[in-house]
Amino acid sequence: MTKSASLRLAVGRFHPLTDDHVRALEDWRGDGNLIVVVVGAHMPRSSRYPFTAEEQVAMLQSTGFEAVAIEDALLPAERVAQLSAFAENAPLLSFDPGYGPELQGLWAGGLTLADPEMPQKTSALRARWLKGNSFGDVPDTVRALMDRVLDADTRRTLAEEHAYIEAYHQSWSVAPYPPVHVTVDALIRKDDRILLIKRGGLPGRGQWALPGGFLDPHETVFAAVLRELQEETGLSLSEGQALQCLRGQRVFDQPDRSARGRTISHVFYFDLSGLDLPALEAGDDAAALKWTGVDCALKMRAHMFEDHYLMLHHFLSTGA
C-alpha cells in the first residue's frame, strides 16, 4: 500500500478519455503523484462502455498518467476497499457519477467530484464517434487508439445499440417526469449449475444474463419473476413451489446501473436442487439458454449483460 503524502487518486470510466479529463487530472495531480483507477475491468463492450479497461489504461498512459484497472463493485464500501489497496486516505477525485456522492462520507482522505457536466459531454462525443462523424476534444494519441481498437463489424454493432438506446430515451421524452423502470430477474440454481439466457434483443444482444424482464402494471414483483421465467425458459413454477425454493431476494438500484435509464431490479434466488425439471427451451426474447457450472459462471464477467454478473456473484458468495 502506498503511503506517500504527495500521492493522489482519481477514479472513473473514460469512454473515451477527453481533453477535459486530461486537464482535470493534470490540475488534480499538481506537482505530486497520481494514480488513475479505471472502473470496469473484464466488462464486455457496449455502446455506453465501448472500450475495455485495458484500452482506457492505455489511453491514460499515452497522455502521461499512471493507471490501473479494477472490477465494478456492488456497494460503495466495496469500492472504498478497492481504492484503499492503492492508497489509503489519499485525496480522491471521482469522475464516477454512480458511486461519487456515496463515497463522500466513506473516504477518509477527502473526495472531490469532477464537473457534473463532463459525463454528458463525453457521451455526446462518443455518439459522434460511433456514428462515424468527425469529433474533437480528445488527445491525438487517444484518437488513434479509438480508431485502432475496434473492427468495423464491432463498431457497427455498437452503433446499432446506441441508436436503440437513443430511440428508447426519445420514446420517454414526453413523460412529465423522468421514468423509473422496474424489472425482475431470477437466479436459478440446480445442484452446481446456474441457468443463464443469451439476450436476443438490444441492448446487450448476444450477452448472457439472468432470465427476467419488466414488471407489468397489474402484477406483483414475485408474480412477474415467475412469469418472466416461464416466458424466457419454459420453466413453470407455482407460487408455492417458488416460495419453498426461495433462498434470497435483493433490490439492485444503483442509479447508473442501466443504459436504458433509471431501472430498479428485484432479483430472486431460487435453489431447485433435487427437483426433476423438464427440458427447457429459450423463448420470448431469449436467443438461447444454458445450464453452466457455478465455477464457470463466476468466470463469465466479460460475457454478462450490465450488472448481471454482480447479481450472480452477490447471491453465490453470500448464499442469500
Query: Measuring CA to CA, which residue among 286, 288, 287, 291 is closest to residue 272?
Result: 291
Residue 168 has pLDDT above 60, yes or no: yes
Indicate the pLDDT class of residue 318, thresholds 50, 70 and 90. confident
Let me know whether 231 and 142 are in one domain. no
Domain boundary, last residue among 153, 170, 198: 153
Let me know whether 14 and 146 are in one domain. yes
Q: Are 172 and 180 in contact (CB under 8 A)?
A: no
Mean pLDDT across 21-42: 97
Q: What percent of the chain has pLDDT over 70?
A: 98
Q: Cα-flanking dihedrals φ and ψ of residue 280, to 5°?
A: -105, 155
Let me know whether 185 and 296 are in one domain. yes
Let me know whether 221 and 291 are in one domain. yes
Let me know whether 113 and 189 are in one domain. no
At residue 60, the pLDDT reads: 98
Q: Pairing between strand 212-214 and 111-113?
A: unpaired
Let me know whether 145 and 18 are in one domain. yes
Mean pLDDT across 53-81: 96
Mean pLDDT across 195-214: 96
Classify 128 as helix, strand or coil: helix
| Residue 221 belongs to a domain | yes
| Residue 63 belongs to a domain | yes
Chain segment 227-274, per-residue pLDDT in tens = 999 999 999 999 999 999 999 999 999 988 999 999 999 999 999 999
Q: Are 186 and 197 in contact (CB under 8 A)?
A: no
Mean pLDDT across 75-84: 93
Mean pLDDT across 192-215: 96
Let me know whether 118 and 212 are in one domain. no
Residue 320 has pLDDT above 80, yes or no: no
Residue 1 has pLDDT above 70, yes or no: no
Q: Are 122 and 39 in contact (CB under 8 A)?
A: no
Q: How many CA atoms lie within 13 A of 154 on its CB side?
A: 12
At residue 200, the pLDDT reads: 94
Position with higher pLDDT, 302 vs 89: 302
At residue 5, the pLDDT reads: 56
Domain boundary, last residue among 113, 135, 153: 153
Let me know whether 246 and 197 are in one domain. yes
Let me know whether 197 and 260 are in one domain. yes
| Residue 172 belongs to a domain | no
For position 217, which CATH number holds?
A: 3.90.79.10
Cell numbers representing residue 271 in the block: 435453489
Mean pLDDT across 172-193: 96
At residue 97, the pLDDT reads: 74
Query: Measuring CA to CA, which residue among 273, 281, 286 is closest to residue 211?
Result: 286
At residue 272, the pLDDT reads: 96
Q: Are 185 and 258 in contact (CB under 8 A)?
A: no
Q: Are 261 and 305 in contact (CB under 8 A)?
A: no
| Residue 176 belongs to a domain | no
For position 125, which CATH number holds?
A: 3.40.50.620
Range of the domain at 304: 181-318
| Residue 164 belongs to a domain | no
Let me know whether 105 and 186 are in one domain. no
Q: Are 209 and 183 in contact (CB under 8 A)?
A: no
Residues 149 and 151: their CA atoms lie apart, in Å, by: 7
| Residue 173 belongs to a domain | no
Let me know whether 262 and 300 are in one domain. yes
Mean pLDDT, all residues of the chain: 93
Cα–Cα distances in angstroms (integers) from residue 150 to residues 46, 59, 187, 232, in the given order: 12, 14, 33, 32
| Residue 231 belongs to a domain | yes
Chain segment 105-142, per-residue pLDDT in tens = 889 899 999 998 999 999 999 999 999 998 899 999 99
At residue 45, the pLDDT reads: 96
| Residue 169 belongs to a domain | no
Q: How many CA atoms lie within 13 A of 169 on its CB side?
A: 11
* Structural domains of the chain, count: 2
Q: Pairing between strand 181-190 and 263-271?
A: parallel
At residue 2, the pLDDT reads: 43
Residue 102 has pLDDT above 90, yes or no: no
Q: Is the peptide bond before 16 cis (omega within 30 degrees of 0)?
A: yes
The terminus-to-terminus CA distance of the chain in angstroms comes to 33
Let me know whether 194 and 279 are in one domain. yes
3-state SS of 67-95 is EEEECCCCCHHHHHHHHHCCECCCCEEEC
Cell numbers representing residue 294 in the block: 457455478
Mean pLDDT across 191-213: 96
Residues 280 and 271: their CA atoms lie apart, in Å, by: 16
